[in-house]
């Protein structure tokens, strides 16, 4: 802990700050500056050391090893995004099961935690049922 000095507000002497107050900020600022310098040196070294031989093949848009054909705009169906969104929702929600298991094991929290988790799983089940009824989960 930094030691605080006395604050003089009378007789116009001014305010003295705590000893070492800015020392913590100076350390953070120094580390940030070192980090920025390190990244700048790394990018500069990469720019100086890499070979620069532009060819028409290197300037083509590369997409999974397939040469680009046609326009740059491609139509993608929304259902792929819906599948990804549903996966993310259920994957993130499943993460909540691990803390629940540790609280459920603690004494005195069993019944309340069990009820809360069934409410939570009920909301997930209603969301999945809604997606199923809307036909979102059909791959056609």
Per-residue pLDDT reduced to its tens digit, 20-71: 677 778 889 999 999 999 999 999 999 999 998 888 877 777 667 666 676 7
With tokens 């116009």, the residue in question is: 12
- Paired tokens of 102: 């540790």
pLDDT grade, residue 16 (50/70/90)?
A: low
pLDDT, tens digit, 9 for 90 and up, residues 105-121: 777 777 777 888 888 88
Look at residue 17 in the predicted model and tell me its pLDDT: 56
What is the C-alpha separation between 97 and 112, in angstroms, rounded?
15
Q: Are 60 and 68 in contact (CB under 8 A)?
A: yes
Does the structure show a pLDDT above 60 at 12? no
Look at residue 14 in the predicted model and tell me its pLDDT: 45
Predicted TM-score (pTM) of this structure = 0.39
Among 122, 132, 120, 124, CA closest to 83: 132
pLDDT, tens digit, 9 for 90 and up, residues 69-105: 767 676 777 777 877 888 888 887 778 777 777 777 7
What is the C-alpha separation between 103 and 113, in angstroms, rounded?
7
With tokens 């969104």, the residue in question is: 85
């Amino acid at each position: 802990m930094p030691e605080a000095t006395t604050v003089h507000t009378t007789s116009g002497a001014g305010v003295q700050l705590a000893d070492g107050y800015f020392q913590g900020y100076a350390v953070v600022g120094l580390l940030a500056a070192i980090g920025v310098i390190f990244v700048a040196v790394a990018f500069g070294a990469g720019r100086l050391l890499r070979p620069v031989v532009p060819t028409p093949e290197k300037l083509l848009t590369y997409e999974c090893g397939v040469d680009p054909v046609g326009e740059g705009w491609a139509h993608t169906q929304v259902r792929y995004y819906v599948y990804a969104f549903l996966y993310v929702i259920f994957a993130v929600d499943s993460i909540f099961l691990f803390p629940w298991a540790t609280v459920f094991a603690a004494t005195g929290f069993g019944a309340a935690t069990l009820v809360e988790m069934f409410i939570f799983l009920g909301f997930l089940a209603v969301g999945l049922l809604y997606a199923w009824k809307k036909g979102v989960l059909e791959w056609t």
